Amino acid sequence: MAVLTLVALLLALKILYVAAVAASIRVTRGALFVSTSRVRIHTALNAITMRPGGLFVDLGCGDGRALREASRRFGVMAMGYEVNPLAYGLARILSLRDRRVRIVFRSFWGEELKDADVVFCYLFPDVMERLAAKLERELKRGAQVISCNFPVPGWEPQEVLRPGSSRQRDPIYVYRIPAFPAVNFKALGAAEDCIERSAS
């Protein structure tokens, strides 16, 4: 009888997992809910500094472990977006005791990220170009971006980390939005040449 109960429970969990994936696959484009290892989260957070009261945002927060660790370590507000119902429910339950952690069941694509001091993500390469445009448009100067495994196209990382664990050696890219907008000197020179030609 105990074996049948265990089999029924495992089958129910499997059905719940498949239903959660099916509910979110259109938004995630095939990305599944897999928890980021604690080693990777610790490595990433060791590379940044945050002031108490700052805002840490996780785009696709899974079970919320990066949010809870950032809140605990830095005393910051931590905001997570999740579209997988199973991951969302788990994150909410595990984060109940931390009042600085907020998790919402919706896609981050329609949300403004202008108040974020740090953005953390572990997303598929096929969305990274679109993400780069969103972050460039919305993030304030000095904000930091942490991307696990996949670089942000066209951005120069401030640092590329590789955790010490032999099983967790995939790169973690750390970026900082420049304090001042980058000057494209080549374009500036071409514009000056054009002005000089039109003046003469």
pLDDT of residue 185: 47
* CATH code, domain with 81: 3.40.50.150
User: Helix, strand, or coil here: 175?
Assistant: strand
Burial class for 12, CB neighbours closer than 10 Å (0-12, 13-18, 19+):
exposed
What residue numbers bound the domain in which 180 lies? 35-185
User: Which spans in 29-167 are helix H?
Assistant: 38-46, 65-74, 85-94, 128-138
To the nearest whole number, what is the mean pLDDT of the chain? 84
Q: Is 196 among the domain residues?
A: no
pLDDT of residue 169: 82
Q: Is 43 among the domain residues?
A: yes
pLDDT of 132-177, one tens digit each?
999 999 999 999 999 999 999 999 999 999 988 767 789 999 999 9
Q: Is 73 among the domain residues?
A: yes
Is the per-residue pLDDT at 191 higher than 90? no
Structural domain count of the chain: 1
For the ranges 3-17, 27-41, 63-77, the lowest mean pLDDT is seen at 3-17
